[in-house]
Chains A and B, each alone.
Chain A
Amino acid sequence: MPEGSGRAPLGPRLTLLIVESSGPLFLPGLARRMNGEGYKKDLAVKEVMAIIRMNMMNQTKKALAQAGISSFSATKVLGRGKGHVDFRLLKGAEAGHEEAIAQLGQGPKLIPKRLLTIVVPDDKVSTVVDTLIETNLTGMAGDGKIFVMPVLDAVRVRTGETGDVAVNEAR
């Protein structure tokens, strides 16, 4: 390759990008993406934890996707609410006392539920909460709870982006 053609400018350009990225980054593409390219980075990130009925999972997924929230993680959990569980009864049944076994199933026990964890930018929190309440509302006890918690930071592993850009689904 002759001197001064194609390859030569690469050196200075690369240096420039690294200076711009203001951090110890060595990939120009990564540096550009981490700079946010005009996306607001000052939005806080919130974690929405929802405990819902097992059989509501499919319609909740559909409703969330329609509201523009497609990413979340879900776990199967056991739980109880205000209902009481008598542990003396459980112990008695375990020990084989017949009257205790007969009373089992009369009071509420640990109930299988789904725990959804959704991390979204601040401005999406009300959308998520409204969607969750709308789709999961049957009006009976046991519909579940929703908790909104602050998150200090979020990182997209693929690119290293941080902040609300990392959980922004438009990107």
Chain B
Amino acid sequence: MVMIRSIVRPEKSDEVMASLLEAGFPAVTKLSVYGRGKQRGLRVGEVHYDELPKDLLLVVVRDEDKDFVLQAVLRAARTGESGAFGDGKIFVSPVEEVYTISTGAKETVA
């Protein structure tokens, strides 16, 4: 299985969550985080914001669902036609074991 960590705009996270739900992946964990990217924050006139608020969404899916979920996140998280700076990043990392606490069972790893 893989963990998909998406850093998205906070105002877009509801849309991304809805899109994941529609795609059939209801299970999501959401954290609010602060960070900066390649553009080193944001400059508005004289004011420089070094760290910008973002939402970090964690989704764990089977390997074969990865691309489908990525597309669902990308579609919902992008702003405008071609996207804009600050729309976020998606990281995919391997997950070796998954357990459900309420049953104590190890999920079958695809």
Interface string of A72-99 (1 = CB under 8 A from B): 0001011111111101001000000000
Q: B15's closest neighbor in chain A, by CB?
A: A87
Query: A-facing mask of B67-110, CB < 8 A → 1, else 0?
Result: 00000000000000000000000000111111111111000000
Evaluate contact between B29 and A83: CB separation under 8 angstroms: no
Query: Cα distance A45–B34 when bound, in Å?
Result: 27
Determine which of B30, B97, B104 lies in contact with A148 in the assembled complex, contact meaning CB atoms within 8 Å: B97
A138 lies within 8 A of chain B by Cβ: yes
Q: How far apart are the CA atoms of A115 and B3 in the complex, in Å?
A: 14
A75 to B103, CA, bound (A): 24
Determine whether A140 belongs to the interface, using a CB cutoff of 8 Å to chain B: yes
List, in ascending order, chain B residues with CB within 8 A of A144's CB.
Answer: 101-102
Residues of A within 8 A of B18 (CB): 87
Contacting pair B30 A81 (CB below 8 A): no
Q: Beyond A84-B21, A148-B96, is A110–B30 a contact (Cβ under 8 Å)?
A: yes
Are A137 and B102 in contact, CB atoms less than 8 angstroms apart? yes
The answer, yes or no, to whether B60 is at the interface (CB within 8 Å) is: yes
Interface: A156 (CB within 8 A): no
User: Hey, which chain B residues are within 8 Å of A138, CB to CB?
Assistant: 102
Contact string, B28-46, partner A, CB cutoff 8 A, digits 1/0?
A: 1111000000000000000
User: Is B14 among interface residues, defined by CB-CB distance under 8 A?
Assistant: yes
A interface residue numbers (CB < 8 A to B) = 46, 50-52, 75, 77-85, 87, 90, 110, 113, 115, 129, 132-133, 136-150
Q: List 22 A-B contacts (CB under 8 A).
A: A50-B101, A51-B29, A52-B101, A75-B31, A78-B29, A79-B30, A81-B26, A82-B26, A82-B27, A133-B101, A139-B102, A143-B101, A144-B101, A144-B102, A145-B27, A145-B98, A145-B101, A146-B97, A146-B98, A146-B101, A149-B3, A149-B95
